[in-house]
Amino acid sequence: MSRRVFITGIAGFLGSHLAERLLTLGHSVAGCDDLSGGYRDNVPDGAELYEADCCDLTRMREITEGASVLVHAAAAAHEGLSVFSPAFVVKNNVQASVATFSAAIHNRVERIVYCSSIARYGDGPVPFTEQTPAAPRDPYGIAKVASEALLRQLAATHGVEHAIAVPHNIIGPRQKYDDPYRNVASIMANLMLQGRQPYIYGDGEQMRCFSPVEDVVDCLVKLAVEPGMDGLLVNVGPDDGYITVNELARRVADAVGFEGLAPIHVEDRPCEVKLVTCSADLARERLGFAPAGDLDASLRQIVDYVRARGTRPFDYAFELEIVGEQTPRTWRDRLL
């Protein structure tokens, strides 16, 4: 059955890929974006784009009218920055989320799907499962957990289906690669294509599992349009193939053809979790999760995307609200 799906953050990385997939499946797609974290040409042909801020309740009521499903993918997804710009990050997660949920419920959507974050788990025991207590370490993670709680309460009170996806470290083309605060693989690609060395925080031995975007989109589509998803919170992303940030730099260098790799190591970022591993067992059981994406292929796609659009200087668009000894000098001194 065809649905009318509204996607917040539709010009962003994840939102645009989701819109593209839903359109190929025959669904009607519209969405909004304030274009602070994405590019207008990311929006696929056939999708309606409304330029709007999710914090604007009146506007969100206008543009979500008629939607049967809402996927809230928009976020100020700046985990590290949230320690130094908490007001900006919390507003553009919590306030943006509650206004979006309120507008959607006002317009009687049937289901809301919320994109949370692995940051909800903090540095608890690994691998994180859906039963791992939420224990976020930074304002971004706290904002994500608060938004989850708001959605649960509002959905239960007003009789709306809801599901919560917990993705982690999604990579692929269309990421905003001139943002100095997030998207590590795209930052590295932008730097290396300029002939510059990448920056790495701490010793670079942080362990991560990177999720090719197509695998995450498969899960989101099912959460959005298939029956039996109400109340589900599920990790979406692979649970094997973990690598260090140092290894990621080597693989990006290979994709670029960058010779003489010698990353510049700077101080650790406060509150950064060293080891992040996550179980995908529930996604396999409930969503038929079978990751087919390939990390190196995704990195080559990122490099091709940046090369085709052209490298860019990094845009320090977001103000540092707290500047002190712990503020990363890459941001304080604009080293990127």
| pLDDT tens readout for residues 41-86 | 999 999 999 999 999 999 999 999 999 999 999 999 999 999 999 9
At residue 187's C-alpha, the angle toward residues 292 and 123, to 5°, is: 70
Contact indicator for 147, 94 with CB cutoff of 8 Å: yes
Residue 111 CB: number of other CB atoms within 10 A?
23
Residue 133 pLDDT exceeds 90: yes
Task: Give me the CATH code for the 4-171+209-236 domain, please.
Answer: 3.40.50.720
Mean of all residue pLDDT scores within the chain: 96
Cα distance from N-terminal residue to C-terminal residue, the chain:
48
Assign residue 281 a region (left: φ > 0; alpha: ψ between -120 and 50; beta: otherwise): alpha
Burial 270-292 (b: 16+ CB within 10 A, else e): ebbbeebbbbbebbeebbebebe
At residue 92, φ and ψ (nearest 5 deg) are -85, 10
- Residues 314-328 have pLDDT tens digits of 999 999 999 999 999
Q: What is the pLDDT of residue 275?
A: 84
Q: Which two tokens stand for residue 260?
A: 């003489």
Handedness of CA 97, 118, 152, 134 (dihedral sign): negative
Does 184-207+240-272+291-332 carry CATH code 3.90.25.10?
Answer: yes
Can you give the residue ranges of every domain in the chain? 4-171+209-236, 184-207+240-272+291-332
Q: How confident is the model at residue 97 (pLDDT cuts 50, 70, 90)?
A: very high
Rounded mean pLDDT, 234-247: 92
Strand partners, 29: 5
Strand partners, 211: 170
User: Which pTM value belongs to this model?
Assistant: 0.96
Q: What is the pLDDT of residue 125?
A: 85
Contact indicator for 229, 161 with CB cutoff of 8 Å: yes
Q: What is the pLDDT of residue 90?
A: 98
Rounded mean pLDDT, 220-224: 98
Q: How confident is the model at residue 291 (pLDDT cuts 50, 70, 90)?
A: confident
At residue 284, φ and ψ (nearest 5 deg) are -65, -45
CA neighbor of 251 nearest in space, from 203, 195, 295, 216: 295
Residue 166 pLDDT exceeds 90: yes
One DSSP character per residue, 27-82 reads -EEEEEE-SSSS-GGGSPTT-EEEE--TT-HHHHHHHTTT-SEEEE------TTGG
One DSSP character per residue, 167-178 reads E-SEE-TT--TT
Q: What is the pLDDT of residue 126?
A: 87
